[in-house]
Structure 1
Amino acid sequence: MGFFNRIKLQTPESVELEFTLAGIGSRAYALLIDYIVWALIWLVFLIAWGFLSIQITDIIESWVGSSSGAQLWLFSIMLLIAFALNVGYFVFFETLWQGQTPGKRYVKIRAIRDDGTPVRLQQATLRALLRPVDDLLFLGVFFIIFGKREKRLGDWVAGTLVVEEERAIVSANFPLSEEAQNLADWLQTEADLSRLLPDNFAVIREYLQRREGMTPEARYELSRRLARQIKDIIALEALPEKVSANVFLESVYLAYQQQSSGY
């Protein structure tokens, strides 16, 4: 296995993307950070729960004279909350941050689906539920080190990969219209370009590079489909009138480059 294990994926738009798989080192570092954050959350919960349970127990004892039944109920509730904290931490962040937890975001790695698209609630839940199994006897480490795709058990079941977060910034080697440049400036203020992931950018770039070799029908259909998806991703309500899908994709390409380069 090479030091950097790269993998090529085929997106639903039939665009081939290449990623660098996150190795065991970066994944372990991210998990360590997550466990520290998770432990702090647990500490706050235990302090708050201890204070609350004492107050509830005292109130019940003053009413009925005995709190044995209440203590059993409180313990059961605490177990349910503990399960929610254990699983919910990873599910919440990976769903909200498109495959990233605080640890993954700091280390700059991200979980994606096998087709290169961001993980959703279903994949994040499966990954979180199987994490204790992966942690047991270091089974996850074994699967990651000796697996070609560096997947732990949770990744195999959920159909996910963990990859390096790469900045897809390259110079354009295809023509871009002047209209796209003007629209790119407008997108900087009207769209939420931070929601555009590097692989979304890579799909746009691959289309713009290959569009000249497509038939007019295929170019028209693919550009419209991509434009609709990107418009939803960047939370853009409406486009200026008479803007074609091609010009829109060009403008998103330019706007993303400008924002990522700090222009």
Structure 2
Amino acid sequence: MLDTVREIHTPEGVALRLPAAGPVPRALAWLIDLAIRFALVFIASMAFGLLGSAGMGLYLVLLFLVLWGYPVAFEALWHGQTPGKRALGLRVVAADGAPVGWMASFLRNLMRTVDMLPFGYAFGLAASLADPWSRRLGDVVARTMVVHVADRGHGAGMPPAPAQAPPVPLQPDEQAALIAFAERAWTLTPQRQEELAGIAAPLTGRQGPVGVDRLLAIAQWLLGRRA
């Protein structure tokens, strides 16, 4: 199944494109997390087995935490990613693109008991194939979705810059073009950055490196990064 893109608009009028992950990469990420959890349970069973009946009680507590707390804790504390999702470049986000919270993560993982029915995640697979953004039932109920993390290449991202409001209101397509420039600036040579910034000189009133910095500052403002 081909991955699709969900486009949402922020209150500032910025169009965000969320590349939804299909069932295949999600299944691979789940298998990685399953292997990690099995390894943790296996190691714990050997350690707690030395403690006799007291160890059995501790083992059952750990088993519950690993099976149910593992995905919730990682998604809520690790920017929507479990180790398996991070390995596959996936992330859980809210339906509006915001970071996933504790309640949403708990709800989507609790619904796995339904997605697994009648066996082999049949309900979850059927739902993801029918949904335009490949959401399983848990994602639909929790209003979340799994997306591909944008490839920043060697860990690079949008160059840091202080936020600055644009001098005039921008149309949605102009906002999208400006944000796209900022997100791809790290892939361009300084000369190419200045060349493109020169096209936007009527907006920024600047040329050269100063014009590039001004465009990056406006992009930060459009993305809601006011600090």
Equivalent of 2:77 in 75, 87, 96: 96
- Give the CA deviation at 1:143: 0.8
The reply on whether 1:18 has 2:14 as its aligned counterpart is: no
- The correspondence of residues 1-263 of structure 1 with structure 2, limited to 5 A, is 3-52=2-51, 54=52, 71=53, 78-136=59-117, 137=119, 138=121, 139-167=123-151, 211-214=166-169, 250=217
Instruction: Mark the CA change 1:13 to 1:83 in structure 2 (over 3 Å): closer, same or farther.
Output: farther
CA distance in 2, matches of 1:76, 1:49: 9
Letter in 1 for 2:67: N
CA distance in 2, matches of 1:252, 1:108: 25
Instruction: Mark the CA change 1:104 to 1:95 in structure 2 (over 3 Å): closer, same or farther.
Output: same
Instruction: Mark the CA change 1:12 to 1:37 in structure 2 (over 3 Å): closer, same or farther.
Output: farther
CA distance in 1, matches of 2:107, 2:152: 29
Q: Is the 8 A contact 1:12 1:115 kept in 2?
A: no
- Give the CA deviation at 1:13: 4.2
5+ residue gaps, structure 1? 55-70, 170-193, 216-245, 254-263
What is the RMSD of the two structures over their aligned residues, measured on CA atoms?
3.3
- Give the CA deviation at 1:77: 5.4
More moved, 32-41 vs 76-85: 76-85
**As a proportion of its length, which structure holds more helix?**
1
5+ residue gaps, structure 2? 171-212, 221-227
CA distance in 1, matches of 2:11, 2:113: 32
Letter in 2 for 1:134: D
What TM-score, normalized by structure 1, do the two folds share?
Answer: 0.56
Instruction: Mark the CA change 1:74 to 1:163 in structure 2 (over 3 Å): closer, same or farther.
Output: same
Instruction: Mark the CA change 1:12 to 1:117 in structure 2 (over 3 Å): closer, same or farther.
Output: farther
Instruction: Mark the CA change 1:168 to 1:251 in structure 2 (over 3 Å): closer, same or farther.
Output: farther
CA distance in 1, matches of 2:11, 2:141: 20
Instruction: Mark the CA change 1:75 to 1:44 in structure 2 (over 3 Å): closer, same or farther.
Output: closer
CA distance in 2, matches of 1:98, 1:80: 26
Deviation string, structure 1 residues 132-164 (Cα, Å, up to 9, x no partner): 321232211111111112111111121101011
Secondary structure of 1:19 counterpart: strand
Q: Is the 8 A contact 2:20 2:134 kept in 1?
A: yes
The structure with the largest alpha-carbon Rg is: 1
Q: How many residues align?
A: 171
Secondary structure of 1:127 counterpart: helix
Percent of counterpart pairs with the same letter? 32
Deviation string, structure 1 residues 177-211 (Cα, Å, up to 9, x no partner): xxxxxxxxxxxxxxxxx8x9x7xx6xx9xx97x93
